[in-house]
């Protein structure tokens, strides 16, 4: 069953639903080039007006953090509760703070 | 939905197999028990990965083969609107196949390999698509019953422990609702038409009722993968529970159409609050699964023909991309 569809690169697809919103990852697809990636993304992910803008990124070009290292990466933020506004006790009489 | 450079596995996945698998497995099960989602680069037991590859690829194949029984009605649908609706539905099914193949790719299996298995006749897909669609009413019955049963199966899968599969299912479920409603509306139009049209609707219900009940798979006593899949939270309800729910939902819908469910043993059990139904012919189910259903051969032949006839398009796309890339690089030089 080998044929020319083998090894078409994988693209990750990001869609902006409305102006004012971020592009959001919606899934992936195979395409021979960037233009086909955009056209297929249009057919696959916006059949019901789900978007007004598409980003396509080659999957291999995305650098991702390793879940096995999640503790080392994210643990340092855990005990820094003073970064949140709710950490500070302010008397009720003080307004607009 | 994604593989991560995205195209490599996490460190935990690459550890020596003999090392500490027990601890990894316990941590994995604890995460599943806590309703955390498992993502592509996370460590997972090999059997969990294999189970998902099997289930999600069979699901993808079912979507792809599922285009065929309805696709052959596109040119014969009774109005331009019905043609447009049917094209949209068939296009959705193709899209569902694509979302699901993407989900299997995050588990480390190439889409081409899976499609190859389907075309070689080695892969399973839902038995339901091996039944013929002789009349327009069959298109209505498929939307109402087959897509209805699919929704019943798929809604719990939106909470599946494997993130990419769960996310694909959320998208699919949103779209399936249109499929079911357009099917029921076709049936509604037919039963409100001439006596011949109403009879056509009844015949289609007769053909699709039992195969639809079989879509939920073997009874719990016979099901080989059920218990482990429940522990892994790939499955949330047993086959029999989902089948019962489908019958309970669907019988009143058939009544509203003034059609008769083709089961002489069907009765309302007041105490249990369920419809009781007659025995399912599992021999038929086994035969269809083994490739001896009414349309197994026809479906695979149609799939292979489409694949072959699309070959030149795929080749042209690759040639075009190569030419464009060469032009780009000569311009840059």
List chain A residues with CB under 8 Å of B1: 25-28
Question: Residues B56, B161: contact at Cβ < 8 Å?
Answer: no
Question: Which residues, at least 6 apart from B109, have a Cβ–Cβ distance to it below 8 Å?
Answer: B53, B57
Q: Find the Cα–Cα–Cα–Cα dihedral B3, B5, B10, B14, rounded to 10°.
A: 100
pLDDT for A7 equals 76
In angstroms, rounded to a whole number, what is the distance separating the alpha carbons of residues B186 and B291?
A: 30
Residue B188 Cα, gap to closest chain A Cα (Å) = 25
Residue B6 has its nearest CB partner, among A6, A30, A60, at A60
In angstroms, rounded to a whole number, what is the distance separating the alpha carbons of residues A77 and B197?
A: 67
Give the pair of three-digit tokens for residue B2: 């994604």
With a cut of 70, say whether residue B222 has pLDDT above it. Answer: yes
Residue B17 pLDDT class (50, 70, 90 cuts): low
Q: What is the pLDDT of residues B19-33, one digit of tens each?
A: 578 899 999 999 999
Tell which of A39, A60, A67 to mutate to test the B interface (max B CBs under 10 Å): A67
Residue B14 pLDDT class (50, 70, 90 cuts): low
Beta strands in chain B (DSSP E): 267-269, 274-276
Tell which of A1, A40, A55 to mutate to test the B interface (max B CBs under 10 Å): A1
Picking from B295, B251, B256, B246, the residue whose alpha carbon sits closest to that of residue B147 is B246
In angstroms, rounded to a whole number, what is the distance separating the alpha carbons of residues B313 and A32?
A: 12
Question: Which residues, at least 6 apart from A30, have a Cβ–Cβ distance to it below 8 Å?
Answer: A5, A8, A9, A10, A11, B111
In angstroms, rounded to a whole number, what is the distance separating the alpha carbons of residues B205 and B216?
A: 17
Q: What is the pLDDT of residues B151-193, one digit of tens each?
A: 999 999 999 999 999 999 999 999 999 999 999 999 999 999 9
The average confidence (pLDDT) of chain B is 92
């Amino acid at each position: 069953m080998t044929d020319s569809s083998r090894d078409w690169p994988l693209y990750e697809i990001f869609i902006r639903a409305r102006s004012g919103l971020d592009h959001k990852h919606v899934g992936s697809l195979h395409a021979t080039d960037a233009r086909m990636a955009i056209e297929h993304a249009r057919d696959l992910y916006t059949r019901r007006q789900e978007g007004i803008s598409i980003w396509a990124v080659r999957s291999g070009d995305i650098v991702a953090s390793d879940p096995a290292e999640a503790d080392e990466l994210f643990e340092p933020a855990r005990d820094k509760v003073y970064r949140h506004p709710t950490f500070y006790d302010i008397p009720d009489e003080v307004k607009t703070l | 939905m994604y593989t991560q450079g995205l195209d490599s596995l996490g460190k935990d996945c690459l550890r020596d197999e003999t090392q500490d698998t027990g601890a990894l497995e316990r941590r994995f099960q604890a995460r599943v028990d806590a309703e955390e989602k498992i993502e592509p680069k996370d460590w997972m037991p090999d059997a969990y990965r294999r189970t998902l590859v099997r289930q999600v690829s069979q699901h993808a194949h079912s979507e792809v083969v599922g285009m065929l029984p309805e696709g052959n009605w596109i040119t014969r649908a009774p109005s331009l609107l019905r043609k447009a609706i049917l094209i949209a539905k068939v296009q959705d099914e193709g899209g569902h196949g694509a979302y699901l193949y993407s989900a299997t790719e995050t588990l480390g299996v190439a889409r081409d390999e899976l499609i190859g298995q389907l075309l070689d006749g080695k892969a399973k897909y839902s038995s339901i698509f091996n039944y013929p669609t002789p009349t327009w009413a069959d298109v209505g019955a498929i939307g109402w019953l087959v897509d209805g049963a699919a929704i019943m199966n798929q809604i719990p899968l939106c909470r599946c422990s494997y993130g990419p599969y769960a996310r694909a299912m959320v998208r699919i479920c949103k779209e399936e609702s249109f499929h079911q409603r357009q099917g029921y509306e076709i049936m509604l139009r037919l039963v409100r038409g001439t006596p011949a049209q109403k009879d056509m609707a009844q015949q289609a219900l007769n053909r699709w009722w039992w195969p639809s009940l079989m879509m939920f798979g073997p009874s719990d006593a016979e099901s080989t993968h059920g218990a482990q899949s429940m522990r892994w939270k790939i499955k949330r309800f047993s086959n029999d529970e989902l089948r019962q729910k489908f019958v309970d939902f669907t019988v009143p819908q058939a009544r509203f159409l003034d059609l008769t469910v083709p089961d002489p043993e069907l009765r309302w059990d007041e105490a249990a609050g369920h419809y009781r139904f007659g025995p399912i012919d599992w021999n038929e189910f086994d035969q269809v699964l083994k490739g001896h259903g009414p349309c197994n051969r026809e479906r695979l032949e149609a799939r292979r023909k489409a694949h072959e006839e699309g070959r030149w398009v795929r080749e042209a796309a690759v040639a075009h991309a190569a030419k464009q890339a060469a032009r780009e690089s000569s311009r840059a030089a």
